[in-house]
A = this chain, B = another copy of it.
Amino acid sequence: MSIITLTTDFGASSPYVAQMKGVILSLAPSATIVDITHSIGPQDIFAGALALADAAPWFPPETIHVAVVDPGVGTSRMAIAVRTARYWFLAPDNGLLGGVWLREPAIAKFAIENRTLWMPEVSSTFHGRDIFAPVAAHLSLGVAGETLGPHMLEIRDIDWPTPKVSVDELAGEVIAVDSFGNAITSITEKHFRDWLPPDSPQILCGEKAIDRLVRTYGDARQGERVVLFGSSGRLEIAVVGGNAADELNLRRGEIVTLRRKA
């Protein structure tokens, strides 16, 4: 019994996902396949990296996480398999695993080059189905990392947004908007605590003032603008019972600032 997860930009309910599942089940009929998400925006590597980084740690040890957001498919970009203490991660070498390392350091990195583990015919536009799916299936059956291809020294990283900290200010940015319209920021609970926060900081999202920091949505009144630490430990901007992204017109990249009051 092994678990293989899928994270792609193919779209919810895409038949491309089903093609990957068919390939996996053809080689590893008893694999349990779990969708992390297929709603990553087209070619949005950062969004894929974030979804994968937040979801992967909740899976049992030995889970094989496959991520395919792959604008460079069919070009010279490498396909990689990375081993951490608990998991396998397979992805194109384009930074898509860059959020994972923040929690799970890489132990061994392999280039996926052994064609005997791929589909017999490999298309130039769908390596998810023709390379990543069969390699994941083979790993789930016990193939060793060394069999996939040579060790790699370097893999590509991603530009992960880090908050700016000063005595008076902690400034991050919106990095995602979830289906409730909550705007998730680059500020983690650790960043916040290390900043030695005041009792009630002034909170600005762009130029819009946020009312206050709360522990959960139900601690504020309907319609109140709040920030809170969400379920992945990141500061989120929410409108209670509403949609913060719509009501405050928030997009990725919007600056979020916490300030000591004068």
Contact = CB atoms under 8 A, between A and B. Distances in A.
A166 interface: no
A43 interface: yes
Given A216-B73, A216-B75, A37 B15 contact: yes
Interface stretch (A5-13, A146-154, A202-210, A252-260): A5-13
A8 B34 CA distance: 17
A225 interface: no
Given A125-B230, A231-B123, A241-B71, A55 B19 contact: yes
Contacts of A77: 218
Nearest to A179: B11
B54 A39 contact: no
A19 to B, nearest CB: 5
A248 interface: no
A158 interface: no
Interface in A53-82: 54-60, 63, 71-75, 77
A18 B5 contact: yes
Contacts of A9: 180
A157 interface: no
A129 B58 CA distance: 9
Interface string A30-48: 1011111111001100000
B18 A39 contact: no
Given A37-B14, A231-B16, A25 B216 contact: no
Interface size class of A (residues with CB under 8 A): 35 or more
A243 B11 CA distance: 14
A19 B58 contact: yes
Contact of A231 (B32, B59, B125): B125
A241 to B, nearest CB: 7
A109 B150 CA distance: 50
9 contacts: A3-B29, A12-B12, A13-B38, A22-B56, A22-B57, A74-B217, A74-B219, A123-B230, A126-B230
